Amino acid sequence: MTVPGKAGAWLAVLPGAALALALALTAKIGTQEIGAALANGRPSPVSPVLVGIVIGVLWRHFIGVGARTEAGVRWILGTLLLVGIALVGLRLTLPGLAGVGRVAIPVVVVCILVALAVSQLVGRAFGLSAELRRLLAVGSAVCGCTAIVATAPVIRARAIDTGTALTCVVLIGSTGMLLYPWIAALVFGTDPLPAGVFLGSAIHDTSQVIGASLIYSQQFASPDAVAVASATKLLRNLSIIVLVPLFGWLAHAETTRQPDTASSARRRPLVPWFIVAFVALVVVRALGDQFVADRAALAGGWGATLDVAQTLSELFMICGMTAVGLNLSLANLGQVGMRPFAAALVIAVATAACSLGLTALILAVA
């Protein structure tokens, strides 16, 4: 007996959604415990995104994802994850970007262009698909996992391409998180401005940038580096507003040149709803901050709202990453080979070298 209507649809989604949520919570709590054990209670050096992906992959490999859970996993990927991405817009504060803009803006712009150009050249040389090249490009140039999962549905990337790109940027970005603070100290000493700009522009994911800047600030007694790195990373994140629709348009143009899929491609919007929501929430954050500036009585409620939105966004995105892991077959990933990882490494090294050299040059000229 089946349950008709929306109730039946929700019941079909519930098992898979509950599984992904439970594994995501396990990943989040696990990283907090790692932080308590290894970092004396400070933020964990291990990204919950990485743990969520690993748990999802291991669950699929050793336990399996049955027919009853597939619909829920698809719903997580197609709805809940996108809501989490849209909520990221509430994190972006325009006034907070002004302080480091003199150095950070040119570094960020050039690094994004370098990452995009190198990803295309290296990706073609390594024989990667157009979709995988674009995912590696936005993952390296913008904001790691968030950019990849935002771009993947727009360009209709295969699950294997999405999973491969996520794995590449998480592993390489995590390595950079542990290595780059020492490079920053070697080149810039304890000056938080150039060190923060370098860490914020060279490392992939936001959590990795925060982790690297915390390591730097704690090891070299430079607490302001965290704020500088965060502001630099927010500047990079803003480029997602341009790059995701651009890649969507490119994918749309390529698809419409293929007669068998042209009609279905034309029916797809070039700018998906969650990108529109993302931009709208950026505006909401700016207006909300301005509105409560002269109304101290409302500041507490506005701050609490932003905290809740950030918590939900992080949870939804960890849940989405876990669902990506649940949707990713180790057998298929093994068929990809080392070419994507080698390409991602070249992109990361080129971006970091550009960031390091340009930051040092701007400070020397200034």
110-150: pLDDT as tens digits:
988 898 899 889 989 998 888 888 889 888 888 777 778 77
Beta carbons within 10 angstroms of residue 33's beta carbon: 12
Is the per-residue pLDDT at 4 higher than 50?
A: no
Whether residue 7 is predicted with pLDDT greater than 50 in this model: the reply is yes
Note the pLDDT tens digit of each residue in 194-240.
898 999 889 887 767 877 887 788 778 777 787 788 778 877 877 77
Does the pLDDT at position 293 exceed 70? no
Q: Is the pTM of this model over 0.75?
A: no
291 or 100, which is more confident: 291
Average pLDDT over residues 154-159: 78
pLDDT of 353 above 90: yes
pLDDT reported for residue 260: 46
What pLDDT shows up at residue 327?
78
Q: What mean pLDDT is reported for the chain?
A: 78
- Residues 65-106 have pLDDT tens digits of 777 888 888 888 778 887 887 787 787 666 655 667 778 888
Taking only the tens place, the pLDDT of each residue in 21-30 is 899 888 888 8
How high is the pLDDT of residue 43?
56
Q: What is the mean pLDDT of residues 301-313?
A: 87
What pLDDT, on a 0 to 100 scale, did the predictor assign at position 335? Answer: 59
Query: With bands split at pLDDT 50, 70 and 90, how would you rate the model's confidence at 262?
Result: very low
How large is the average pLDDT for residues 154-182?
83
The reported pLDDT for the residue numbered 268 is 47
Share of the chain above pLDDT 90, in %: 10
